[in-house]
Structure 1
Amino acid sequence: MFPKPRTSLTPNTYDYESLPLVKPTGFREYDARWLFQKEINLMGVQALGIGLGTLLHELGTKPEIVTGHDFRGYSSSIKYALISGLMAAGIKVKDIGLAMSPMAYFAQFDLDVPAVAMVTASHNDNGWTGVKMGAQRPVTFGPEEMGRLKEIVLSGDLKTRDGGGYEFIENFPARYIADLTNRPKLKRRLKVIAACGNGTAGAFAPQILEAIGCEVVPLDTELDHSFPRYNPNPEDMKMLHAMADKVREVGADVALGFDGDGDRCGVVDNEGEEIFADKIGVMLARDLSTLHPGSTFVVDVKSTGLFVTDPVLIKNGVKADYWKTGHSYIKRRVRDLDALAGFEKSGHFFFNAPVGRGYDDGLVTALAVCDMLDRNPGKSMADLYREVPKTWGTPTMAPHCADEVKYEVANRVVKRFEAMHAAGETVAGQPIRDLITVNGVRVVSQDGTWGLVRASSNKPELVVVIESPVSEARTREMFKAIDDVLRENPEVGAYNQTF
């Protein structure tokens, strides 16, 4: 019988080395993330593996799973603890080794395996670990499955059984790379910066871009799990600034930046302009809807309002569906609506056939950007960006708020704006035109300027995004109005970045 997990243990004690530690807040809406050693120990990861195996049996899923791990100093040990638990639960494990998350999703198709458990902390700072899980390709777990997994693990209802096994799949990256590059080469010779922040994508992105005909300038592609320059996160302004500096230095056509586990892509144009991912989504939607008129695109509530107001998208008959932020939510919505693609402001992009298989892959996004440039030989990335109507938006900003209270605080903020709307009060000096509460609250003023507040799904933070179609001044006015409401809650701390 496996010991019941504890929700807290003191490090450097007998109990810590003899019992599983699993902090409940690590079970997020659509994946799992903990501070390794502080919130989960290796026995806790083993318990998670047994719990996941128990859930797979409960769901009636064929007891086979793909595993992989990202490039952090502790990810391999965490993966093997997870594998130990999965095997104890009677699951046959196919291990693809060091990988990006989309490689593990691809492996579900290529190896004909239904389930996946990718060990990664994605773009979180060092010290974090986590697991992205799914039991039905191409989607990953949502709140229902994560809630049940949490219940199984924390209750100690961990069922071991016979039938488990292990197989290491040698040189699996070659299969993934061949799948992406078995295609015509670009007609246009593009000089492309591949920026990887010393994360996992550095082992794969340059050769994939070279194989389709790009001249590649590597930037921080050496694997180094200390992340010496900045966290590999294409929403982080430090990474975007480094990409912009390199564009100006070498005269590149575009810079493509990948996050720590390679499922997201950020873009800087040939003039060194940092293009937020939702605007890249508009540009790709313009390009793809010209080829596929009448397409549906799913976008998250953090994204620009241009998906419904852009004249090219309107002309091409595009249907835009605003949905909950989170890779699992958007992925499922893309599948359920049979949308051509889904776009998140974070840079998670999901392409259905004929572009992709429905899961988020930063390299598929990078190839889509290169193909867009290839289809517009007389235009630069900056030219294409200038054709998109101008709006003034912020990066994703995240004030600290503890995991234990962040959803409660977000609910308070929603209720506050609902009360203001009902009372006819103004926000940032204008009446409230609309409130979108599908995921937190998106407050839209009369002139179309909007501000979003929601709880982060994977860190102890809230999320704030502002955009105005009018001016930067209106963006700043809305930010102040949103921040004033946030400061009514003492649990809200400092921002990770502002604008």
Structure 2
Amino acid sequence: MAGVPADDLIPDLTALIKAYDVRGLVPSQLDARVSRAIGAAFGDVVVHGGARPAAGSASRPVVVVGNDMRESGPELVAAFAGGLAARGVDVVRIGLCSTDGLYYASGALDVPGAMFTASHNPAEYNGIKLCRAGARPVGQDTGLAEVRDLTRTYLADGVPELPAQERGHVSDRDVLADYARFLRSLVDLGGIRPLKVVVDAGNGMGGHTVPAVLGTGAGLPALPLEIVPLYFELDGSFPNHEANPLEPENLRDLQAAVVEHGADIGLAFDGDADRCFVIDEHGDPVSPSAITALVGLREVERERAAGRDSIVIHNLITSQVVPDLLTAAGARAVRTRVGHSFIKAEMAAHEAVFGGEHSAHYYFRDFFFADTGMLAAMHVLAALGGQDAPLSALADAYMPYSASGEINSRVDDVPAARARVVQAYVTDEGAGAVEVDELDGLTVRHWDTTPRWWFNLRASNTEPLLRLNVEAQDEDIMEKVRDDVLTLVRAGVEKESE
């Protein structure tokens, strides 16, 4: 076939199409040719379910596609849509959107979706988050491996084209206002006290969605919120700072602005605006565990008022306060591995009302079991504006324990380092002195008797790193456990990577 690339022009798809999404450098790993092949493969594997598109069918399946503000987005979307259309799939392009905006469209329209974003990665990256109808995730074990294999075939042999009358059509639709109305229907902010809110969009999609949801940009009534915008201009080159609020240096402008403006709260969104970080009135970060507890209790209370039992999902390195408070409120707290695919699977399996992660991903049953930073932010605004105390006092009630945060150690021999910790805390402590599980890495708990503490030690999947999280009843105990474990982990030649 003329124009078909040689094998040496096919990128390493294992490095591009990963366990949970597509993510790579543009154009060396991801370009229009590759995007078209992925679109065709997604159409055949996920949309058609592995069956050959039905010839002469009166109706065609539909996929909704959106993109963030990265410069490469429109070209990649056009190519992806072309691949889908070639395989008999209609495409609805919703244009610029946040990832949770794409999830809304997939859920509301009940069709599969594709979001072109590289989230918080630098400007030279782009990627695709894929989902089935109803915003259900597509990962390595749920179709993505098959998409990767078929993409390789289509890059080698070319994308097969259906006859013109059987190809899909591409159309455009704006869903921003519908997305904003839907979120407002889930949290009522109309009756709260006036709040001054600084929002750092990091030149990402929060600059597109915040004016629509929290302002009047989508034609909705004004809320009692004064929004002070930081970096709302959509710019995929990220001229001010990386759109990754997980890194403390990327919060400094927001922290300073909150104090400068005398604001009640600060909100920071990542590039595709599916994660939200919260800053209190003093400019101090509020732990995502505290946000998980706060939002979880609000959702549990709503379920209880409706006479329903509730389940909340949390990953294993969120604070002990999360299961403590949720269980006391009558909910069932389900602990799961770190990673959005595990949270989403547990959310769906248990029909959980809410789920939270230490990385500031928050998941809602009423948002198609998907994650949305905006809805979490609205819950925090509702809780803050529904009472008179400042955010720092409100947050303190949800964080009574002391935590280390995640500490990374680069070690020469990960199994040997882990074995030293096991020897010291499991073998030498003796049976019954601690609780041990290996749900995700090694978790050692000494919580039922004083002094109360726990730690989790997880190996990186890609680097010779061990990740340590420690929590204890007070700062002194936390520091002792942290330092003792790090001494064992870092025995020998090591390099710390905080």
Task: Please indicate, yes or no, whether the TM-score normalized by the shorter chain is above 0.5.
Answer: yes
Report the secondary structure of 2:435's partner residue: strand
Mapping of residues 75-154 of structure 1, within 5 Å:
75-110=73-108, 112-144=109-141, 145-154=143-152
Relative distance call for 1:248 and 1:27 in structure 2 (3 A) is: same
Shift of 1:212: 3.3
Say which of 310, 335, 352 aligns to 1:322: 335
Could you report, residue by residue, the CA deviation over 1:46-104 in whole angstroms, capped at 9, with x for unpaired residues? 22222212212235697321111111122222222222222223221111111111111
* Aligned mates of 2:489, 2:35 — CA distance in 1: 35
* Aligned mates of 1:432, 1:125 — CA distance in 2: 46
* Aligned mates of 2:33, 2:489 — CA distance in 1: 39
What is the RMSD of the two structures over their aligned residues, measured on CA atoms? 3.4
Relative distance call for 1:471 and 1:165 in structure 2 (3 A) is: same
Aligned residue in 1 for 2:395: 385
Report the secondary structure of 2:240's partner residue: coil
Q: Give the TM-score of the pair, scaled to structure 2.
A: 0.83
Relative distance call for 1:423 and 1:233 in structure 2 (3 A) is: closer
Report the secondary structure of 1:165's partner residue: coil
Relative distance call for 1:476 and 1:179 in structure 2 (3 A) is: same
* Aligned mates of 1:70, 1:466 — CA distance in 2: 33
Contact 1:5 1:47 in 2 (8 A): no
Shift of 1:179: 2.7
Aligned residue in 2 for 1:254: 265
Identity of aligned residues (%): 23
Relative distance call for 1:152 and 1:31 in structure 2 (3 A) is: same
Say which of 462, 467, 472 aligns to 1:469: 472
Report the secondary structure of 2:380's partner residue: helix
Contact 1:414 1:440 in 2 (8 A): no
Contact 1:45 1:81 in 2 (8 A): yes
1:268 alignment partner AA: I
* Aligned mates of 1:471, 1:49 — CA distance in 2: 52
Aligned residue in 2 for 1:193: 198
Relative distance call for 1:423 and 1:245 in structure 2 (3 A) is: closer
1:131 alignment partner AA: I
Shift of 1:317: 1.2
Aligned residue in 2 for 1:225: 236
Contact 1:301 1:322 in 2 (8 A): yes
Mapping of residues 403-414 of structure 1, within 5 Å:
412=415
Aligned residue in 2 for 1:292: 303
Contact 2:97 2:209 in 1 (8 A): no
* Aligned mates of 1:206, 1:462 — CA distance in 2: 40
* Aligned mates of 1:122, 1:461 — CA distance in 2: 24
* Aligned mates of 1:493, 1:89 — CA distance in 2: 51
Report the secondary structure of 1:449's partner residue: strand
Say which of 319, 323, 326 aligns to 1:308: 323
1:58 alignment partner AA: G
Whether 1:283 and 2:294 are equivalent positions in the alignment is yes
* Aligned mates of 2:488, 2:172 — CA distance in 1: 52
Could you report, residue by residue, the CA deviation over 1:332-390 in whole angstroms, capped at 9, with x for unpaired residues? 2112101110101111111123xx33211111111111122233x22221121121242
Q: Which has the larger radius of gyration?
A: 2
Structure 2 portions without partners, runs of 5+ = 54-59, 216-221
Could you report, residue by residue, the CA deviation over 1:255-300 in whole angstroms, capped at 9, with x for unpaired residues? 1111110111111112222012122101222333233344211012
Range 262-271 or range 471-480, more displaced: 471-480
Give aligned pairs, total.
467
Structure 1 portions without partners, runs of 5+ = 10-18
Shift of 1:239: 2.7
Report the secondary structure of 2:65's partner residue: strand
Q: Give the TM-score of the pair, scaled to structure 1.
A: 0.83
Contact 2:13 2:148 in 1 (8 A): no
Range 242-251 or range 385-394, more displaced: 385-394
* Aligned mates of 2:148, 2:348 — CA distance in 1: 25
Relative distance call for 1:89 and 1:264 in structure 2 (3 A) is: same
* Aligned mates of 2:487, 2:158 — CA distance in 1: 46
* Aligned mates of 1:164, 1:452 — CA distance in 2: 51
Range 479-488 or range 62-71, more displaced: 479-488
